[in-house]
Amino acid sequence: MEYTFMDIEDLPLDFAKEILKRRGIVKLNPPQSEAIKKGLLEGKRLVVASPTASGKTLIAELGAVSHLKDGGGKVIYVTPLRALTSEKYSTFKEWEPLGIKVGMTSGEYDSEDNYLKNYDVIVTTYEKLDSLWRHRPAWLEEADYFILDELHYLNDPSRGPVVETVAVRAKRKGMLALSATISNFHEISRWLKAEYIATSWRPVKLVEGVIYPAGKYYSVTFKDGTTKKVKGEDPIEAYTMDSISRGGQVLVFRNSRRNAESTAKSLSLKFKESSELREIASEIEEVEDAGSMEKENLSSLVKRGVAYHHAGLSRGLREIIERGFRERKIKVIVATPTLAAGVNLPARTVIIGDIFRYNRKVTGFREEIPVMEYKQMSGRAGRPGFDSEGEAIIVVRDKRNFERIFEKYMSSDVEPIESKLGAENAFYSFLLGTLSSEGEMTRNALRTYVEETLLSDEIIESKFDNGVDWLKDHNFVIEEDVVKLTEFGKRVADIYVNPFTAVTIKDALKGKPTSCELAYLHILAYTPDSPIVGTSNIDETLLYDVDCKMFLEEPTDELELSLYLSALKIAFIIQDWIEEVDEDAILAKYGIGSGDLRNMVESMDWLTYSGYKLAQVMKEEGHEEILRRLNMRVKDGVKEELVELVQIPGIGRKRARQLWNEGIKSLGDVVMEPDKVKRILGEKIGERTIHEAARILSKGNPS
């Protein structure tokens, strides 16, 4: 296939050329050239599908700046993950010399973010944009060009519904959608009223193959029919060492954290330590947001050029590992598949160590990963500027499965994109969000809006009236001539919780006597918006050490019981956290990672806030006060006496406790006793702490 490259001197955007040249770009690649040819710079609605690292972000940048320079309104760039939001924000900041102001927002759902009225390009997540529409800030009316990144997330069961919700609104304005391959592109482009551009071009050639046991060796059959033999104790080690011997770096994907860690440990034994790597290991040992055991384990591996990477690690640890790999110092990362979607981290060789995963909802059930997920992982193969080709190798441990696996992942199209709004919790949330964003409407008008989704007519027919009636039955909406939100329904929409979460909280608290903190944490952790954790790796007797009345009775159904125990585990973890139990002790006691703890804290910070606001609208003052006080403590993990001190930026639970124990118990004390504060915290941190405390006090009374 012949590809066209456009010289940037032929680009009809003179103001953009200097910035592109500064990046070393002298030609636009085939996907970029095709997008311009199809009307990108004139605001044409496009869906662009091309492989990872093929330059889709630059297409978005050129679409955005041309829109703004032509006098258009605000541009909203939407991503499915916060890590991608930060990455794209940094990229767009490079256009600020042209007078384009770039802002970013994510998290904090119960907010209008009015400061964003001052920005031209706003980078955010799908969830945050959906939340903003529900609040209807005036500045958002100015947004008339939406860039929907990673559109294939429509197929993700958890994130797909909100991606579709945003797309339904965005397709009414100017729009550019970016994606990996879409097999049913005619349907999707027709739905979005856009023209479809598809290309298989990538900057580094991709070589794909399947490795399987063959006697004393492991044999690799590549997509083009060629073969290769490698030798080693197992297929992952064999191909990893082969790639590194040829100057490559390797990303290995395993289907569980345990497998990722054990594989990394095994591979590390093949390498020697170096002074360069000891420096990275020292950085790991100094990370503040991670547990001691995690740092010790990772440090010992990194000294040999190997690391593991998964959501159980803290952000600080993940960032050091990623930087070390980009700088080509770390040679091998063994990761869970979340890395494939969330971080731009190419490698010469990608090894998919497991083509199946366990379904957490069906105990013990194994399922093969979708072709799309394989494409996400294999898309990381090949480092532009370093490699002439990248390799993606699937491991098959039983030769009997070779032909079927080869046919499925080497030859099949990715799965068609289908709506994930059909699940009840997603559909009811969509109805609620639509009424919050659009205002009251007749039942027929609401149905017309639903018909703009990807849902089939049959599903809409079966779900629509039931959905509206369910919202009425649970006091989210009332219907006279029009359907409109109740005060309770509007509050649920604003705080951005699932309607089933709101019902769980309402049913548990309404008219009930108050209870202990653990009971509130448990009910919140039992809602659909809470993470789910495994309980098999700790002594379950820990989970029954309850000395107060819980809001929920223990269920007899096996699935419900597992959710109940998961919620209890989270409740105990957060209770220990707000009682200032040492973080290392929490991680060891409950068998979790620092990243898990941060995720739980973030979720429970939001859920305690949501519970407090729902109790407020329900006029349950006793529950409201307990939840308000809990919310003040969860984010920083402190007893109530430290709430005021941890408002100071840079003062966490440990430093706040140091100050308190020395008699510095308020912001006023910090300002009035500067010498004492500097003695406790050190000159530099103390000076900054005093300045920040004074700034907070100058704005009014501390909360």
What residues form the annotated binding site for ATP?
A: 32
> Rounded distance, CA 78 to CA 121, Å?
11
> Rounded distance, CA 603 to CA 501, Å?
13
Q: What is the 3-state secondary structure (H, E, C) of 351-369?
A: EECCCEEEECCCCCEEEEC
> Rounded distance, CA 610 to CA 628, Å?
10
Across the chain, how many H-helices and E-strands are there? 29, 21
DSSP 215-229: TTEEEEEETTS-EEE
Cα 638 to Cα 118, 170, 577, 583, 603: the distances in Å are 36, 42, 7, 12, 16
| Sequence-ordered list of residues with C-beta below 8 angstroms from that of 280, at least 6 positions apart, any chain | 302, 320, 324, 329, 330
Q: Where are the beta strands (DSSP E) in 243-305?
A: 250-253
> Rounded distance, CA 491 to CA 500, Å?
14
Q: What is the CA radius of gyration of the chain?
A: 27
Query: Phi and psi at residue 305, in whole multiples of 5°?
Result: 85, 20
Query: Which residues belong to the annotated binding site?
Result: 32
Query: Phi and psi at residue 202, in whole multiples of 5°?
Result: -140, 150
Q: Which residues pair with 331 in a beta bridge?
A: none
SS3 content of the chain, % helix, strand, coil (to 5): 50, 15, 35
Of 156, 162, 140, 154, the C-alpha closest to 498 is 162
Q: Which residues pair with 27 in a beta bridge?
A: 7
The pairing of strands 27-28 and 6-7 is antiparallel
